[in-house]
Amino acid sequence: MDILKVTGPTPLRGDVQVPGAKNAISKLLTASMLTSERCVFSNAPAIGDTRVTQEICQSLGAKILEDDPRLLIAQTKDITHVEVPENLAQQNRLSVMMLAPLLHRAGKAIIPAAGGDRIGVRPVDFHLDGYRKMGANITEKDGVYIAETDQLKGAEITLAYPSVTTTENLLMAAVLANGRTFIHNAAIEPEIMDLVFFLQKMGAIIDYQIDRTFIIEGVDTLSGALHEVIPDRLVAESFAVAAIASKGDLFVRGAQQADLLTFLNTLRRVGGNFDIETDGIRFYHKNDLTSIALETAVHPGFMTDWHPPFAVLLTQAEGISVIHETVFEDRLTYVPQLQKMGADIAIYDQCLGTGNCRYHTTNSQHSALIKGPTPLHGTDITIPDLRAGFTYLLAAIIAKGETTIRGVDELDRGYESIDEALSNAGANIIREKE
């Protein structure tokens, strides 16, 4: 197991590159299995999650060539297996997305319950309800779903909550279904739109309305296509926050204003500085930071994955900040180890936001008060989930003394060579084997 030893504090200065989006490539590779033709993806991120997704696709019949780690050539001439291997299903949230290629091309799918970050209960009921409405017969035995159908058919589906992967999964079901599908209360995150654009290149017909309804007209077949993966707006935000929290100055190459609009507004409100340029955004620290109240939401709101690194920034802001997490009920599990580093954060099960969210009566600790500015100090910490991983790395960079970070595999799942990128920007990070 790798560990990171970080000695701080150090300001981050220089250039960093945003790789392709983790939450786009995994769905694009899945979509490539809807056709027997060749699909080519450029700007694929070389991260653990891409490798796991490749392995899941390959276990079902896909052949994926890596010309270089960022150029993936995927082709699934035939579906060779209809069961996602249990060990792979546990490693990310992708297995349930395999319903689409397996049902369309083999009429059957056997899917063990999904793994992924432990940031909430994360059920798959919306996915299964949607597929059932589209004519799939799905049974469950010992945590394994068995789905069968002769042909998926168009349906009218209203999501109880605008779930990202459910929207993507049902889009992939609908593009080859018989007839027209309506997905109401859908999510419209940029990664979803990236999938929509790729599916359109493949021959799909997908409209969407401003009330977040997708209308999909099923077609008979899809063809291969070329696609460049969008830059990862979660990594872009991580770099941006790191530049300012470390009192540094980073040019984040590939950061896109359109995908970061709400984050940039929030950053400006706390006193963070940025200049938008054609090939990226420069983030820099110039003045003291002020506290803020923020609430996470589905796109175009302040996204849930942006909040943990932002919490570190708020430990350095003057006053009391409020975070109300409304998407995942257990996202604040990163807090106790930040407290160990000196952060003054209190967590609450109440909704400390503009109104009550779905977790109002669940006793979930989903709101936080952060008092700052507070000096942080090095200690030994273990990463509980991917975004908490970057959060701890950032806390260690601005903390005084040495921090040892364990559970680095989680971080490597979503951040490409992150210790190298930040070391090049001045951080003092050593990777060791334990």
| 140 in contact with ligand EPU (CB under 6 A) | no
Angle at 160 between CA 158 and CA 164, to 5 degrees: 90
117 catalytic? Reply is yes
Q: Give the three-state DSSP class for 311.
A: helix
Please name the amino acid found at residue 297: A
- The catalytic position among 49, 117, 259, 385 is 117
Cβ at position 29, least distance to ligand EPU in Å: 12
List, in order, residues 6 or more apart from 143 with CB less than 8 Å away: 112, 113
**Cβ contact 99:147 at 8 Å:** yes
- Which of 327, 332, 381, 405: binder of ligand EPU (CB under 6 A)? 327
Q: How far apart (Å, rounded) are the C-alpha atoms in residues 339 and 344?
A: 6
| 123 in contact with ligand EPU (CB under 6 A) | yes
- Which of 198, 251, 263, 328: binder of ligand EPU (CB under 6 A)? 328
Among the candidate windows 114-122, 135-143, 171-179, 335-343, which touches ligand EPU by CB under 6 A? Answer: 114-122
Q: Binding to ligand EPU (CB under 6 A): which residues in 237-296?
A: none
Q: Which is nearer to ligand EPU, 32 or 291 (CB)?
A: 32
Among the candidate windows 20-28, 36-44, 64-72, 347-355, which touches ligand EPU by CB under 6 A? Answer: 20-28
Q: Give the three-state DSSP class for 90.
A: coil
DSSP 76: -
Burial class (CB in 10 A: 0-12, 13-18, 19+), 268: exposed
Half-sphere exposure of 7 (CA within 13 A, CB side): 2
Q: Binding to ligand EPU (CB under 6 A): which residues in 21-40?
A: 22-23, 26
Distance of CA 188 to the CA centre of its chain: 14
- Which of 164, 250, 411, 418: binder of ligand EPU (CB under 6 A)? 164
Q: Which is nearer to ligand EPU, 38 or 358 (CB)?
A: 358
Residues that bind ligand EPU in the complex, under the rule CB under 6 A? 22-23, 26, 93, 117, 120-127, 161, 163-166, 187, 189, 234, 303-305, 327-328, 386-387, 414
Active site residues: 117
